[in-house]
Structure 1
Amino acid sequence: MASPLITLGENTVWENKHRTVSLTPRLFCDVWNMWLEPPASNEPIWRAGLAGLRALVAKAEAQNLRIRGLGGAWSLSRAAATHDIMVNTKPLNYIELGFRDSSLDIGFSGNPDALCFAQCGASVMELYQYLEARGYTLPTSGASNGQTIAGAVSTGTHGSANAIGSMQDYVLGLHMVIDGGRHRWIERASKPVVSQAFCHAIGAELLRDDALFDAAVVGFGSFGLMHAVLFEAEPLFLLEKSLVRMDYDRVHPVLGTLDVEALGLSGGAELPFHFEVVVNPYRVSRGQRGAYVRYMYKRPHRPVAVPTGGSTWVQGDDVMTLLGTATGWTPELVPVLLEPILSAQLGPVQGVAGTPGFQFGATDLRGDVMSTEIGVALADAPQAVDAIIEVANRFPWSGFPAIRYVKGSDATLAFTHFSPMACTIELPSAGSPRTLEAFHRVWDELRARGIRFTMHWGQNMREDRALIEYGHGARVEEWLRARRSLLGATGQRIFGSDWLTACGLG
């Protein structure tokens, strides 16, 4: 039997992209879609990568070591980190669009031609480029495209598509490698997609269970190594983007209702496909125009005079990239220096059309940055933003709230689980001890005001079971039950981590 190509590195110092986590694991492994010798038969190249993941899980189990999959290293939290075996899945970037009828369950009612099988290491950028070249696109994504599909989905990454939800909400199937090197295809019983013949062909056992799927899809690497996801792509469309600046008191009533008619947007009372507000917390008085409203309408695709696959315009979702050099700001200077940065980078835009891959393009990180992000119910959004503004004015730091909205997620521990609409409030900031202190003050202020909130698993967060339960309630125990139903004691141990234990989820 052919052996998969795996490169093993010892004493390799690993650091995430935002430089908030650094460690030296016992083994740092690269897994490839290649065999050490030619396979006996002509088969898809992804089989080598799958074999590599299975071999590494067996190795971890035999040596009683923990193992974590690593994608684009985009998470600011410790979600991907372990001191034992870290597996770089970036080389596993096989993408295939379209399924044969024989591979589909008789109950599948979607478009077989739009089904996309994407290996764990495929980046959002690679998916946009692959799909848009074939007349399709992702239904939604976060603003940055450096994340892998597995990492983005596993941590609950969202955009601002209020009618769709977060990235995990359009995933239909998960291909997971679990303890013993076994692999399972997991999908919802209420929404079957693939056939038994498909699972037999890839060698996986089919598991259909809504509770298991909803828990595992935002499982941050704790249900096994994710080999691939299946989702239904959307026919290519355009997003027409505008950005206007106005007073905060004009925007404030809209934050909890999304009744945008009073804002005078180009589409009138129509809620845009993508709606977000960036607030300068030090300019919220009337006449200071401290709110930047960025919105996009979904339009039919047509040729436009812009390239696909990446924009140089800095996204509000990742304005943290502007602040990487702001670590030396003194508290007195923060309110003075933040204004020219925001006004220069978030200048007016009117009706710029482009594909999603263009609008949500490359992110260039500059210096040390940090960010936390909370989720709240729509009705609580104004009070939550007011709490953050109050903390900022008592304790100035180089950050600000960026507010977005998505449909509430069914994923058990999605930080966007608030139904029917979740509001997300990101605080992109310069990386510094003062920023971390500010985050803790924000979390404490929200709790003191009785505002129920969750924390984004892929950003800076408080690793605290009590605070996690405050935001998720009984969903925590539901998630733990689902994990136990899939993994035995050995699997729970090897796919655990210090981070998971600190969160009370180990």
Structure 2
Amino acid sequence: MPAPLHHGPRHWVNYHGTESADLGDLIELCNSRESGGRAVLREVADDVLSLLRKASAEGARVRPLGAGWSPSPIAIAQGGWLVETRRINRCFGLDADDVAPGTDPSRLMLVQAGATVDEVNDCAEELGLSLRTGGASNGQTWAGACATGTHGSVLGAGGIQDHVRALQVVTPSGVFWVEPHQPVMSPAFVAQTGSTIFRDDDVFAACLVAVGAMGFVTAMVIECVPLFMVRNIQKRARITRDDIASLSRGDFGAFSQRYALDEPPHFLQVILNPFAPFSKDALLRLLYLRDFDSAIPPPPRPLTGAGYDALTLIGKAMAGVDLFRADILQLAMRAGYAVQRDIDDPEAIATWGNTTEPHNPIANLFNGSVTLQRSDLDRAFDPLIDAFLSGGGGTVVTLRFMKRAAGLLAPARFADNVVIDFDGPRSDVSHRSYRAVVARLDAMGIRFTRHWGKTNDLDAARVASDYGDDYRRFRIAQRRLLADPADIAVFRSDPLVHLGLID
């Protein structure tokens, strides 16, 4: 296979133009040309192992790079080596010989770390499968989305990392096949990938949302579900304070019955105007499960699905505006849902893969979110909105709902979660408003977490407090996999040290 490409020292800027680094080297991994997944994994892992050992010998720090999607500096190691994974993006189906006895391979896929969510969706559909959940966008690499705990958007599922059943992880000490205690893949499969089996429930749980602190992930085995479709309803509607209480109780059926269909939704998103959440229209999106029908052609992606996140809708429309008022923001929201698909419209039905979309780089974006226990939404909502407005009210407020997600450091750590996003223009107003929300929740004694890949104002003390015993288990698991202190040193970066995720 072609050797990794070394592009030398350079100034690097992330996808959205919000963070940058002066690198010692920008290295691009090239993929194996082998036809079988086992050989492909072996060759790529060997290249990564050589790079990590060279870095260790030279005292260099290494950070894997997916799509560079995160607005935060989580992927950066100033002066270090940034290793691009986008070319290692192949997906493979699996057979009975590949898996451990008792494991059904029919819903499993072997995914290289650099494959984007969009590419994984396409591969899954070719195999007659669907992802259970995902975020609004599809340009992130699969491994990067898992590593930062990208939240899902489905009422009955957790995060995107919940799909993962096994991982290939490379450290300077070797290539490891990390699984839970219960075997997933056959010993022969693992051996032929050039990996050493490492079965440990906590190490596996730590690797699911590793934030780049558990080694270099090169591939994953993920579990999907049979291919399905969703019916999309997107509309503007004026909700009430009672609706917030209903959502807090998890009465999604009642909300759906009032604004859309008389059936339980699969996905529910509410984008609110914080200046007037009950006297101005909110943007509603609800998806409903439907059986797969090959006769239904995929509709244009801008008109369907769980996409059109608040960032896409509002970011460019409001960029550069520091003082937002209800009417101005409402005009931007109307432009976002210029096309409505209400219950009287023809059905807009597509596969789950067609519910996600890319969005263009937005240099002036602000990304922030909090995740709290869904039952706290009712008492937190009014104080949260008041706090947000006290900072100037930088953008819209988005509500999405999900179950507890897998992984020791998964932000969605409650049994039932509401993810509250504050995504919009990058300005002092946006950040000040977000900080005011965090301070108000703390003052009320409401537990919450923050997204690893977004602006979050976290530090080591707060991470340890937010994650408690799971943080302690994460650090112990880290020392099991990265047993040699020299291995830890290779993956050290200022952001990870600041977060208390690495020494």
**Structure 2-normalised TM-score?**
0.92
Partner of 2:448: 453
Matched residue type, 1:499 = P
TM-superposed deviation, 1:327: 3.5
- Is 2:49 the partner of 1:49? no
Paired with 2:479 and 2:300, the residues of 1 have a C-alpha distance of 41
The answer for unaligned runs of 5 or more in structure 2 is none
43 and 140 in structure 1: CA distance in 2 versus 1, 3 angstrom threshold: closer
Partner of 1:127: 120
Partner of 2:270: 277
58 and 308 in structure 1: CA distance in 2 versus 1, 3 angstrom threshold: farther
- Is 2:385 the partner of 1:392? no
325 and 278 in structure 1: CA distance in 2 versus 1, 3 angstrom threshold: closer
Paired with 2:299 and 2:218, the residues of 1 have a C-alpha distance of 28
TM-superposed deviation, 1:45: 3.9
Cα displacement string for residues 332-391 of structure 1 (whole angstroms, at most 9, x for unaligned residues): x44331111112313532342111111112223344111111111111123333333112
11 and 153 in structure 1: CA distance in 2 versus 1, 3 angstrom threshold: same
Q: What SS is found at the alignment partner of 2:118?
A: helix
Paired with 2:122 and 2:136, the residues of 1 have a C-alpha distance of 15
Paired with 1:45 and 1:469, the residues of 2 have a C-alpha distance of 38
Q: What do you get for the CA RMSD once the two structures are aligned?
A: 2.2
Partner of 2:86: 90
Matched residue type, 2:476 = R
Q: Which residue, 8, 22, 26 being the options, matches 2:20?
A: 22
Q: What SS is found at the alignment partner of 1:24?
A: strand
Paired with 1:124 and 1:316, the residues of 2 have a C-alpha distance of 13
Paired with 2:101 and 2:401, the residues of 1 have a C-alpha distance of 35
Partner of 2:432: 437
Matched residue type, 2:419 = T
Q: Which residue, 216, 219, 226 being the options, matches 1:228?
A: 219
Paired with 1:392 and 1:223, the residues of 2 have a C-alpha distance of 35
- Is 2:376 the partner of 1:380? yes
Partner of 1:80: 75
Q: Residue 33 of structure 1 contacts residue 46 of structure 1 at CA under 8 Å; is this kept in 2?
A: no
Paired with 1:406 and 1:439, the residues of 2 have a C-alpha distance of 21
316 and 289 in structure 1: CA distance in 2 versus 1, 3 angstrom threshold: farther
Answer with 115-124 or 393-402: which moved more.
393-402
Q: Which residue, 490, 493, 499 being the options, matches 1:494?
A: 490
- Is 2:130 the partner of 1:137? yes
Q: What SS is found at the alignment partner of 1:344?
A: helix
- Is 2:151 the partner of 1:188? no
Matched residue type, 1:221 = G
Q: Which residue, 324, 328, 351 being the options, matches 2:320?
A: 328
Q: Which residue, 229, 232, 237 being the options, matches 2:228?
A: 237
TM-superposed deviation, 1:200: 1.2
Q: Which residue, 164, 170, 182 being the options, matches 1:177?
A: 170
228 and 337 in structure 1: CA distance in 2 versus 1, 3 angstrom threshold: same
TM-superposed deviation, 1:206: 0.9
Paired with 1:71 and 1:134, the residues of 2 have a C-alpha distance of 24
Paired with 1:253 and 1:291, the residues of 2 have a C-alpha distance of 16
Paired with 1:341 and 1:504, the residues of 2 have a C-alpha distance of 39
- Is 2:159 the partner of 1:163? no
- Is 2:240 the partner of 1:248? yes
Cα displacement string for residues 384-405 of structure 1 (whole angstroms, at most 9, x for unaligned residues): 3333311232222331221111
Matched residue type, 1:6 = P
Aligned residues: 490
Partner of 1:117: 110
Cα displacement string for residues 216-235 of structure 1 (whole angstroms, at most 9, x for unaligned residues): 11001111110001012222
Paired with 1:298 and 1:439, the residues of 2 have a C-alpha distance of 34
Paired with 1:48 and 1:204, the residues of 2 have a C-alpha distance of 11
Matched residue type, 1:489 = P
Q: What SS is found at the alignment partner of 2:309?
A: helix
TM-superposed deviation, 1:239: 1.0
Cα displacement string for residues 121-148 of structure 1 (whole angstroms, at most 9, x for unaligned residues): 0011111122223322222111101001
Paired with 1:443 and 1:43, the residues of 2 have a C-alpha distance of 46
Paired with 1:4 and 1:55, the residues of 2 have a C-alpha distance of 14
Paired with 2:217 and 2:422, the residues of 1 have a C-alpha distance of 29
Q: Residue 11 of structure 1 contacts residue 26 of structure 1 at CA under 8 Å; is this kept in 2?
A: yes
**Structure 1-normalised TM-score?**
0.91
Partner of 2:204: 213
Q: What SS is found at the alignment partner of 2:92?
A: strand
The answer for unaligned runs of 5 or more in structure 1 is none
Q: What SS is found at the alignment partner of 2:399?
A: strand
Paired with 1:122 and 1:501, the residues of 2 have a C-alpha distance of 28
